[in-house]
Amino acid sequence: MIYENKSSKVTRRAMMATAFGGLAAMSAGTQRRAADRKPVSSEDKLVRISKITSEWQRLLPLWREKDTEKPIQAIENLWDGPHGKAIIALGPGIIPYLIQQLRKGDFVFIVPLKLITNVDISNGKDSSLPDITIPEIAKLWLKWWDGDND
């Protein structure tokens, strides 16, 4: 199964190609035509990945300590604080780290996955309704990541 986003079908491979491919110019805040952009070198990609990794490692403990201490109504609210928003702002480059957290059973990471990818992983089912649970949604994200799109 390939999961829908608002405008098209999105696969893990397409999402990661976008994350590490030609978005260097856009991430720097410039929006030029594709023909005007310089190709992104492997070294530039590694630097970008390294920056994302170090920011993830810096922000995750801050998020756990500061943003998750207050009572919440829904897991979405865990990401409303400054560190949660900063984690989400890192974009598709942190998807492997979010998946890693899901594999550990930390289901709250389904929220940034949804916000970053814009993928409707449950095909319109609402996790607040009895027809799908948060652990089931987490399993769908893992299937999406692993490429189990049957």
Strand order, beta sheet including 3-5: 9-10, 3-5, 119-120
Tell me what pLDDT residue 17 has.
57
Q: Contact 47/19 with Cβ under 8 angstroms? A: no
Tell me what pLDDT residue 110 has.
94
Q: Contact 12/147 with Cβ under 8 angstroms? A: yes
Tell me what pLDDT residue 25 has.
36
Give the pLDDT of the chain (150 residues) as one tens digit per residue: 444 444 445 666 566 555 554 434 333 433 444 555 667 677 777 778 889 999 999 999 999 998 777 777 788 888 999 999 999 999 999 999 999 999 999 999 999 999 999 998 887 665 555 678 889 999 999 999 999 765
Helices assigned H by DSSP within 10-132:
12-20, 24-27, 42-62, 82-89, 95-103, 110-117
Mapped onto helix, strand or coil, the DSSP state of residue 105 is: coil
Q: Where are the domains of the chain?
A: 9-26+37-146
Tell me what pLDDT residue 30 has.
37
Tell me what pLDDT residue 46 has.
79
Q: DSSP secondary structure string, 75-97?
A: GGGGGSSHHHHHHHHTGGGGHHH
State the DSSP code for 34: G
